[in-house]
A and B are shown apart, each in its own frame.
Chain A
Amino acid sequence: MKLMKLEIVTPNGVIFDDEIKQVTLPGSEGEFGVLADHATLVSLLDTGVIVIETSDSKEISVAVDSGYVKVEEEKTLCVVDGAVALSGDDSDLAEKIAEAKELLDKAQTSSTAIIAAKSKVDSISKNF
Protein backbone atom coordinates (compact mmCIF):
# COMPACT_ATOMS: atom_id res chain seq x y z
CA MET A 1 0.00 0.00 0.00
CA LYS A 2 1.27 3.42 -0.89
CA LEU A 3 2.32 5.57 2.03
CA MET A 4 2.07 9.31 2.47
CA LYS A 5 3.53 11.82 4.85
CA LEU A 6 1.49 13.27 7.70
CA GLU A 7 2.53 16.22 9.81
CA ILE A 8 0.56 17.56 12.78
CA VAL A 9 1.76 20.91 14.10
CA THR A 10 0.56 22.68 17.26
CA PRO A 11 1.79 25.89 18.88
CA ASN A 12 3.78 23.67 21.23
CA GLY A 13 5.64 21.96 18.47
CA VAL A 14 5.37 19.15 15.95
CA ILE A 15 3.55 16.24 17.55
CA PHE A 16 3.43 13.85 14.62
CA ASP A 17 5.63 13.57 11.55
CA ASP A 18 5.79 10.21 9.84
CA GLU A 19 4.81 8.06 6.87
CA ILE A 20 1.30 6.67 7.21
CA LYS A 21 -1.25 4.60 5.34
CA GLN A 22 -4.44 6.48 6.04
CA VAL A 23 -5.81 9.31 8.14
CA THR A 24 -9.37 10.23 9.08
CA LEU A 25 -9.97 13.89 9.76
CA PRO A 26 -12.84 15.75 11.45
CA GLY A 27 -13.54 18.31 8.71
CA SER A 28 -15.99 21.11 9.37
CA GLU A 29 -18.29 19.72 6.67
CA GLY A 30 -18.02 16.18 7.96
CA GLU A 31 -15.48 13.55 8.65
CA PHE A 32 -13.32 12.41 5.74
CA GLY A 33 -10.60 9.88 5.16
CA VAL A 34 -7.43 10.54 3.22
CA LEU A 35 -5.25 8.03 1.43
CA ALA A 36 -2.13 8.66 -0.62
CA ASP A 37 -2.71 10.47 -3.94
CA HIS A 38 -5.73 12.33 -2.62
CA ALA A 39 -6.76 15.45 -4.56
CA THR A 40 -5.43 18.73 -3.22
CA LEU A 41 -7.75 20.06 -0.55
CA VAL A 42 -7.84 22.64 2.18
CA SER A 43 -10.36 22.34 4.96
CA LEU A 44 -11.26 23.72 8.33
CA LEU A 45 -11.06 21.15 11.10
CA ASP A 46 -13.73 20.90 13.72
CA THR A 47 -13.34 19.67 17.25
CA GLY A 48 -12.85 15.94 17.03
CA VAL A 49 -10.50 13.05 16.73
CA ILE A 50 -7.93 12.43 14.01
CA VAL A 51 -7.44 8.69 13.49
CA ILE A 52 -4.14 7.70 11.93
CA GLU A 53 -3.27 4.31 10.51
CA THR A 54 0.50 4.05 10.74
CA SER A 55 2.76 2.25 8.27
CA ASP A 56 2.78 -0.84 10.51
CA SER A 57 -1.05 -0.79 10.66
CA LYS A 58 -1.32 0.49 14.20
CA GLU A 59 -3.97 2.98 15.07
CA ILE A 60 -3.21 6.29 16.75
CA SER A 61 -5.86 8.78 17.74
CA VAL A 62 -5.24 12.47 18.24
CA ALA A 63 -7.87 14.65 19.86
CA VAL A 64 -7.85 18.19 18.43
CA ASP A 65 -9.85 21.31 19.23
CA SER A 66 -9.73 23.21 15.95
CA GLY A 67 -7.47 23.95 13.05
CA TYR A 68 -6.81 23.53 9.36
CA VAL A 69 -5.70 20.76 7.12
CA LYS A 70 -3.99 20.91 3.77
CA VAL A 71 -4.03 17.69 1.78
CA GLU A 72 -1.66 17.16 -1.10
CA GLU A 73 -1.01 14.00 -3.05
CA GLU A 74 2.10 13.06 -1.15
CA LYS A 75 1.69 15.00 2.03
CA THR A 76 -0.96 16.02 4.54
CA LEU A 77 -0.38 18.92 6.88
CA CYS A 78 -2.57 19.61 9.92
CA VAL A 79 -2.19 22.92 11.73
CA VAL A 80 -4.16 22.69 14.97
CA ASP A 81 -4.51 24.79 18.11
CA GLY A 82 -4.38 22.02 20.63
CA ALA A 83 -3.87 18.31 20.34
CA VAL A 84 -3.46 15.30 22.61
CA ALA A 85 -2.17 12.06 21.10
CA LEU A 86 -3.73 8.81 22.35
CA SER A 87 -1.91 5.69 21.29
CA GLY A 88 -2.73 2.24 22.58
CA ASP A 89 0.58 1.25 24.08
CA ASP A 90 0.89 4.30 26.29
CA SER A 91 1.05 3.34 29.94
CA ASP A 92 -0.46 6.66 30.98
CA LEU A 93 -3.43 6.33 28.64
CA ALA A 94 -5.97 7.14 31.32
CA GLU A 95 -4.19 10.36 32.06
CA LYS A 96 -3.98 11.24 28.37
CA ILE A 97 -7.68 10.55 27.94
CA ALA A 98 -8.52 12.88 30.79
CA GLU A 99 -6.29 15.48 29.19
CA ALA A 100 -7.95 14.98 25.81
CA LYS A 101 -11.39 15.41 27.34
CA GLU A 102 -10.33 18.58 29.04
CA LEU A 103 -9.04 19.92 25.74
CA LEU A 104 -12.29 19.04 24.00
CA ASP A 105 -14.32 20.66 26.74
CA LYS A 106 -12.52 23.93 26.27
CA ALA A 107 -13.02 23.96 22.51
CA GLN A 108 -15.29 26.72 21.28
CA THR A 109 -17.40 24.76 18.87
CA SER A 110 -20.88 23.34 18.91
CA SER A 111 -21.63 21.09 21.83
CA THR A 112 -22.63 18.19 19.56
CA ALA A 113 -19.15 18.12 18.05
CA ILE A 114 -17.66 18.05 21.51
CA ILE A 115 -19.94 15.26 22.69
CA ALA A 116 -19.23 13.20 19.58
CA ALA A 117 -15.51 13.66 20.01
CA LYS A 118 -15.68 12.77 23.69
CA SER A 119 -17.57 9.58 23.06
CA LYS A 120 -14.95 8.64 20.51
CA VAL A 121 -12.23 9.21 23.05
CA ASP A 122 -14.17 7.03 25.47
CA SER A 123 -14.43 4.23 22.96
CA ILE A 124 -10.65 4.32 22.54
CA SER A 125 -10.16 3.74 26.23
CA LYS A 126 -12.48 0.74 26.09
CA ASN A 127 -10.58 -0.82 23.22
CA PHE A 128 -7.36 -1.14 25.11
Chain B
Amino acid sequence: MANLKEIKRKISSVKGTQKTTRAMKLVSSAKLKRTEEVAKRSKVYAAKLTELLNEIARKMQQNNENGIDNVFFKENQNPKKVDVVYVTADKGLCGGFNFQTIKRTNKVLSEFKEAGTEVRLSGIGKKGIAYYKYNKIEMINEIDDLSSAPNYERAKEFISELVEDYISGKTDKIVLIHNGYVNMITQEINQQQLLPVDTSALELDAVSLSEMDIEPDDDDTLLDALVKKYVEYTMYYALLNSLAAEHSARMQAMDAATNNAKEMVGKLTVKYNKARQEAITTELIEIISGMESMK
Protein backbone atom coordinates (compact mmCIF):
# COMPACT_ATOMS: atom_id res chain seq x y z
CA MET B 1 0.00 0.00 0.00
CA ALA B 2 2.89 2.29 0.77
CA ASN B 3 3.97 1.90 -2.82
CA LEU B 4 0.58 3.10 -4.07
CA LYS B 5 0.77 6.25 -2.01
CA GLU B 6 4.26 6.94 -3.24
CA ILE B 7 3.24 6.68 -6.88
CA LYS B 8 0.26 8.93 -6.31
CA ARG B 9 2.49 11.55 -4.76
CA LYS B 10 4.86 11.31 -7.69
CA ILE B 11 2.03 11.77 -10.17
CA SER B 12 0.78 14.93 -8.52
CA SER B 13 4.30 16.33 -8.35
CA VAL B 14 4.88 15.73 -12.06
CA LYS B 15 1.52 17.32 -12.80
CA GLY B 16 2.62 20.36 -10.84
CA THR B 17 5.80 20.60 -12.89
CA GLN B 18 3.76 20.28 -16.05
CA LYS B 19 1.61 23.20 -15.00
CA THR B 20 4.68 25.35 -14.40
CA THR B 21 6.33 24.46 -17.69
CA ARG B 22 3.14 25.09 -19.59
CA ALA B 23 2.75 28.50 -17.97
CA MET B 24 6.38 29.32 -18.77
CA LYS B 25 5.82 28.37 -22.37
CA LEU B 26 2.83 30.70 -22.58
CA VAL B 27 4.75 33.55 -20.99
CA SER B 28 7.65 33.03 -23.39
CA SER B 29 5.43 32.97 -26.45
CA ALA B 30 3.79 36.24 -25.39
CA LYS B 31 7.17 37.83 -24.73
CA LEU B 32 8.54 36.48 -27.99
CA LYS B 33 5.78 38.18 -29.93
CA ARG B 34 6.62 41.52 -28.35
CA THR B 35 10.37 41.18 -28.80
CA GLU B 36 9.94 39.97 -32.36
CA GLU B 37 7.93 43.09 -33.13
CA VAL B 38 10.63 45.39 -31.74
CA ALA B 39 13.36 43.46 -33.51
CA LYS B 40 11.50 43.62 -36.80
CA ARG B 41 11.15 47.38 -36.60
CA SER B 42 14.79 47.85 -35.68
CA LYS B 43 15.84 45.59 -38.49
CA VAL B 44 14.76 48.16 -41.07
CA TYR B 45 16.86 50.82 -39.39
CA ALA B 46 19.85 48.52 -39.07
CA ALA B 47 19.55 47.55 -42.73
CA LYS B 48 19.37 51.15 -43.91
CA LEU B 49 22.27 52.19 -41.74
CA THR B 50 24.40 49.38 -43.11
CA GLU B 51 23.38 50.29 -46.63
CA LEU B 52 24.43 53.90 -46.10
CA LEU B 53 27.74 52.89 -44.55
CA ASN B 54 28.48 50.47 -47.35
CA GLU B 55 27.83 53.05 -49.97
CA ILE B 56 30.12 55.62 -48.42
CA ALA B 57 32.82 53.05 -47.88
CA ARG B 58 32.48 52.01 -51.50
CA LYS B 59 32.81 55.56 -52.66
CA MET B 60 35.94 56.05 -50.61
CA GLN B 61 37.42 52.86 -51.90
CA GLN B 62 36.87 54.07 -55.44
CA ASN B 63 38.59 57.34 -54.75
CA ASN B 64 41.49 55.80 -52.99
CA GLU B 65 43.55 53.13 -54.63
CA ASN B 66 45.19 51.89 -51.46
CA GLY B 67 41.91 51.10 -49.83
CA ILE B 68 40.20 53.21 -47.26
CA ASP B 69 42.42 55.35 -45.18
CA ASN B 70 40.40 55.39 -42.02
CA VAL B 71 41.06 53.80 -38.66
CA PHE B 72 37.72 52.00 -38.70
CA PHE B 73 38.45 50.23 -41.96
CA LYS B 74 42.10 49.30 -41.66
CA GLU B 75 42.40 45.60 -41.25
CA ASN B 76 45.38 44.70 -39.12
CA GLN B 77 46.86 41.51 -40.53
CA ASN B 78 48.51 40.53 -37.27
CA PRO B 79 46.14 41.63 -34.55
CA LYS B 80 47.90 41.77 -31.20
CA LYS B 81 44.95 42.32 -28.98
CA VAL B 82 41.36 41.43 -29.68
CA ASP B 83 38.14 42.22 -27.86
CA VAL B 84 35.62 39.42 -27.76
CA VAL B 85 32.10 40.32 -26.73
CA TYR B 86 29.47 37.70 -26.09
CA VAL B 87 25.76 37.99 -25.32
CA THR B 88 23.92 35.32 -23.33
CA ALA B 89 20.61 35.29 -21.51
CA ASP B 90 20.10 36.25 -17.87
CA LYS B 91 18.02 33.19 -17.20
CA GLY B 92 18.33 29.50 -17.84
CA LEU B 93 15.64 26.92 -18.64
CA CYS B 94 15.96 27.53 -22.34
CA GLY B 95 17.64 24.37 -23.57
CA GLY B 96 21.10 24.69 -25.04
CA PHE B 97 20.67 28.38 -25.79
CA ASN B 98 23.29 29.80 -23.46
CA PHE B 99 25.68 26.94 -23.83
CA GLN B 100 25.81 27.27 -27.59
CA THR B 101 26.99 30.84 -27.27
CA ILE B 102 29.53 29.92 -24.60
CA LYS B 103 30.81 27.04 -26.70
CA ARG B 104 31.31 29.27 -29.71
CA THR B 105 32.98 31.92 -27.56
CA ASN B 106 35.37 29.32 -26.16
CA LYS B 107 36.20 28.19 -29.66
CA VAL B 108 36.96 31.74 -30.75
CA LEU B 109 39.02 32.34 -27.62
CA SER B 110 41.15 29.26 -28.19
CA GLU B 111 41.58 30.10 -31.86
CA PHE B 112 42.94 33.50 -30.99
CA LYS B 113 45.11 32.03 -28.29
CA GLU B 114 46.63 29.57 -30.73
CA ALA B 115 47.41 32.40 -33.10
CA GLY B 116 49.23 34.09 -30.24
CA THR B 117 46.79 36.93 -29.93
CA GLU B 118 45.93 38.46 -26.64
CA VAL B 119 42.22 38.37 -25.96
CA ARG B 120 40.06 40.50 -23.75
CA LEU B 121 36.68 39.09 -22.93
CA SER B 122 33.64 41.11 -22.05
CA GLY B 123 30.09 40.02 -21.92
CA ILE B 124 26.45 40.70 -21.31
CA GLY B 125 24.19 38.19 -19.61
CA LYS B 126 24.19 36.51 -16.19
CA LYS B 127 24.61 33.00 -17.50
CA GLY B 128 27.77 33.67 -19.44
CA ILE B 129 29.25 35.67 -16.57
CA ALA B 130 28.50 32.84 -14.14
CA TYR B 131 30.20 30.37 -16.47
CA TYR B 132 33.37 32.40 -16.95
CA LYS B 133 33.58 33.32 -13.28
CA TYR B 134 33.34 29.65 -12.36
CA ASN B 135 36.07 28.81 -14.85
CA LYS B 136 38.18 31.70 -13.57
CA ILE B 137 38.45 33.40 -16.95
CA GLU B 138 38.84 37.10 -16.51
CA MET B 139 36.42 39.57 -18.05
CA ILE B 140 37.10 43.27 -18.34
CA ASN B 141 33.50 44.30 -18.55
CA GLU B 142 30.33 42.52 -17.53
CA ILE B 143 26.72 43.54 -17.40
CA ASP B 144 24.24 41.17 -15.84
CA ASP B 145 20.87 42.80 -16.36
CA LEU B 146 20.89 44.12 -19.89
CA SER B 147 20.05 41.09 -21.97
CA SER B 148 16.58 40.67 -20.46
CA ALA B 149 15.76 44.33 -21.09
CA PRO B 150 17.74 45.72 -24.03
CA ASN B 151 18.27 49.43 -23.82
CA TYR B 152 19.97 51.48 -26.48
CA GLU B 153 21.65 53.90 -24.10
CA ARG B 154 23.26 51.19 -22.04
CA ALA B 155 24.28 49.16 -25.07
CA LYS B 156 25.94 52.30 -26.40
CA GLU B 157 27.73 52.95 -23.14
CA PHE B 158 28.99 49.40 -23.01
CA ILE B 159 30.35 49.24 -26.53
CA SER B 160 31.70 52.81 -26.55
CA GLU B 161 34.43 51.91 -24.07
CA LEU B 162 35.63 49.17 -26.38
CA VAL B 163 35.43 51.45 -29.39
CA GLU B 164 37.53 54.05 -27.56
CA ASP B 165 40.20 51.42 -26.95
CA TYR B 166 40.05 50.46 -30.59
CA ILE B 167 40.50 54.02 -31.74
CA SER B 168 43.43 54.64 -29.40
CA GLY B 169 45.05 51.49 -30.76
CA LYS B 170 44.89 49.43 -27.57
CA THR B 171 42.97 46.75 -29.43
CA ASP B 172 43.00 45.74 -33.07
CA LYS B 173 39.69 44.05 -33.49
CA ILE B 174 36.27 43.66 -31.90
CA VAL B 175 34.35 40.45 -32.37
CA LEU B 176 30.75 39.99 -31.30
CA ILE B 177 29.17 36.62 -30.62
CA HIS B 178 25.51 36.15 -29.90
CA ASN B 179 22.66 33.77 -30.49
CA GLY B 180 20.20 35.01 -33.06
CA TYR B 181 16.60 34.43 -33.88
CA VAL B 182 15.79 32.78 -37.20
CA ASN B 183 12.22 31.64 -36.70
CA MET B 184 10.01 30.15 -34.00
CA ILE B 185 11.92 26.87 -33.92
CA THR B 186 15.43 27.78 -35.03
CA GLN B 187 18.16 29.84 -33.45
CA GLU B 188 21.50 30.49 -35.00
CA ILE B 189 24.80 31.59 -33.54
CA ASN B 190 26.01 34.82 -35.09
CA GLN B 191 29.63 35.77 -35.02
CA GLN B 192 30.53 39.07 -36.56
CA GLN B 193 33.45 41.40 -36.70
CA LEU B 194 32.32 44.78 -35.41
CA LEU B 195 35.55 46.62 -36.01
CA PRO B 196 37.32 47.10 -38.33
CA VAL B 197 34.30 47.23 -40.59
CA ASP B 198 34.35 44.23 -42.84
CA THR B 199 34.63 45.61 -46.36
CA SER B 200 35.19 42.34 -48.13
CA ALA B 201 31.46 42.02 -48.67
CA LEU B 202 31.16 45.30 -50.51
CA GLU B 203 30.32 45.12 -54.17
CA LEU B 204 32.68 47.40 -55.93
CA ASP B 205 31.34 47.18 -59.41
CA ALA B 206 28.00 48.73 -58.53
CA VAL B 207 26.95 52.17 -59.69
CA SER B 208 29.71 54.68 -59.88
CA LEU B 209 29.41 57.04 -56.99
CA SER B 210 32.17 59.43 -57.88
CA GLU B 211 29.58 62.13 -58.28
CA MET B 212 28.49 61.85 -54.69
CA ASP B 213 28.81 64.97 -52.59
CA ILE B 214 29.50 64.66 -48.93
CA GLU B 215 28.64 67.15 -46.24
CA PRO B 216 30.49 68.06 -44.06
CA ASP B 217 33.19 68.14 -46.69
CA ASP B 218 35.76 66.21 -44.80
CA ASP B 219 34.98 62.51 -45.23
CA ASP B 220 36.22 61.47 -41.84
CA THR B 221 33.74 63.45 -39.78
CA LEU B 222 30.80 61.81 -41.45
CA LEU B 223 32.39 58.40 -41.57
CA ASP B 224 33.43 58.46 -37.92
CA ALA B 225 29.96 59.37 -36.80
CA LEU B 226 28.40 56.81 -39.07
CA VAL B 227 30.68 53.98 -38.04
CA LYS B 228 30.15 54.69 -34.35
CA LYS B 229 26.43 54.69 -34.87
CA TYR B 230 26.71 51.49 -36.85
CA VAL B 231 28.66 49.73 -34.13
CA GLU B 232 26.34 50.91 -31.38
CA TYR B 233 23.29 49.93 -33.28
CA THR B 234 24.69 46.54 -34.21
CA MET B 235 25.35 45.95 -30.52
CA TYR B 236 21.81 46.95 -29.61
CA TYR B 237 20.35 44.87 -32.37
CA ALA B 238 22.39 41.88 -31.20
CA LEU B 239 20.76 42.25 -27.78
CA LEU B 240 17.28 42.35 -29.28
CA ASN B 241 18.02 39.46 -31.55
CA SER B 242 19.45 37.43 -28.71
CA LEU B 243 16.41 38.14 -26.54
CA ALA B 244 14.03 37.01 -29.27
CA ALA B 245 16.09 33.87 -29.73
CA GLU B 246 16.09 33.27 -25.97
CA HIS B 247 12.32 33.40 -25.81
CA SER B 248 11.90 31.11 -28.77
CA ALA B 249 14.44 28.67 -27.31
CA ARG B 250 12.64 28.74 -23.98
CA MET B 251 9.32 28.19 -25.65
CA GLN B 252 10.68 25.09 -27.32
CA ALA B 253 12.35 23.80 -24.18
CA MET B 254 9.22 24.30 -22.13
CA ASP B 255 7.09 22.66 -24.80
CA ALA B 256 9.35 19.63 -24.71
CA ALA B 257 9.26 19.63 -20.90
CA THR B 258 5.46 19.75 -20.90
CA ASN B 259 5.32 16.83 -23.29
CA ASN B 260 7.80 14.85 -21.23
CA ALA B 261 5.76 15.50 -18.11
CA LYS B 262 2.65 14.30 -19.89
CA GLU B 263 4.41 11.10 -20.91
CA MET B 264 5.67 10.61 -17.38
CA VAL B 265 2.18 11.05 -15.93
CA GLY B 266 0.93 8.41 -18.37
CA LYS B 267 3.64 5.96 -17.38
CA LEU B 268 3.13 6.57 -13.68
CA THR B 269 -0.64 6.11 -14.03
CA VAL B 270 -0.12 2.72 -15.65
CA LYS B 271 2.27 1.80 -12.87
CA TYR B 272 -0.21 3.01 -10.27
CA ASN B 273 -3.04 0.94 -11.80
CA LYS B 274 -0.84 -2.14 -11.96
CA ALA B 275 0.16 -1.75 -8.34
CA ARG B 276 -3.48 -1.28 -7.34
CA GLN B 277 -4.50 -4.39 -9.28
CA GLU B 278 -1.70 -6.31 -7.67
CA ALA B 279 -2.81 -5.24 -4.23
CA ILE B 280 -6.39 -6.32 -4.91
CA THR B 281 -5.28 -9.67 -6.28
CA THR B 282 -3.09 -10.30 -3.26
CA GLU B 283 -5.94 -9.41 -0.93
CA LEU B 284 -8.32 -11.71 -2.79
CA ILE B 285 -5.87 -14.57 -2.61
CA GLU B 286 -5.47 -13.97 1.10
CA ILE B 287 -9.23 -14.05 1.68
CA ILE B 288 -9.75 -17.12 -0.50
CA SER B 289 -6.92 -19.02 1.12
CA GLY B 290 -8.27 -18.02 4.51
CA MET B 291 -11.68 -19.34 3.58
CA GLU B 292 -10.13 -22.55 2.23
CA SER B 293 -8.32 -23.18 5.51
CA MET B 294 -11.57 -22.63 7.45
CA LYS B 295 -13.27 -25.45 5.60
Contact = CB atoms under 8 A, between A and B. Distances in A.
A39 B213 CA distance: 8
Interface in B37-62: 41-42, 44-45, 48-49, 52, 55-56
B288 interface: no
A7 to B, nearest CB: 8
B221 interface: yes
B157 to A, nearest CB: 14
Contacts of A7: 48
B48 A42 contact: no
B289 to A, nearest CB: 81
Contact of B45 (A40, A41, A43, A79): A79
Contacts of A68: 52, 222, 226
A44 B225 contact: yes
Interface residues on A, range: 20 to 34
Nearest to A27: B215
B45 A11 contact: yes
Nearest to A28: B216
A125 interface: no
B209 A43 contact: no
Contacts of B294: none
B233 interface: yes
Interface in B209-243: 209, 211-217, 221-222, 225-226, 233, 236
B54 to A, nearest CB: 11
Contact of A79 (B52, B211, B217, B236): B52
A70 interface: yes
A56 interface: no
Q: Give the size category of B's interface with A.
A: 20 to 34
Contacts of B226: 68
B152 interface: yes
Secondary structure dominating the interface of A: strand
B216 A11 contact: no
Interface of B: 41-42, 44-45, 48-49, 52, 55-56, 152, 209, 211-217, 221-222, 225-226, 233, 236
Given A11-B152, A41-B212, A79-B45, 11 more contacts: A9-B45, A12-B41, A13-B41, A14-B44, A28-B215, A40-B209, A40-B211, A40-B212, A42-B213, A70-B52, A79-B48
24 contacts: A9-B48, A11-B41, A11-B233, A12-B41, A13-B45, A14-B44, A28-B216, A29-B217, A39-B211, A39-B213, A40-B209, A41-B212, A42-B52, A42-B56, A42-B215, A43-B214, A43-B215, A44-B215, A44-B225, A68-B52, A68-B222, A68-B226, A70-B55, A79-B45
Closest 9 pairs (CB-CB, A-B):
A13-B41, A43-B215, A41-B213, A40-B212, A11-B45, A29-B215, A9-B48, A79-B48, A9-B45
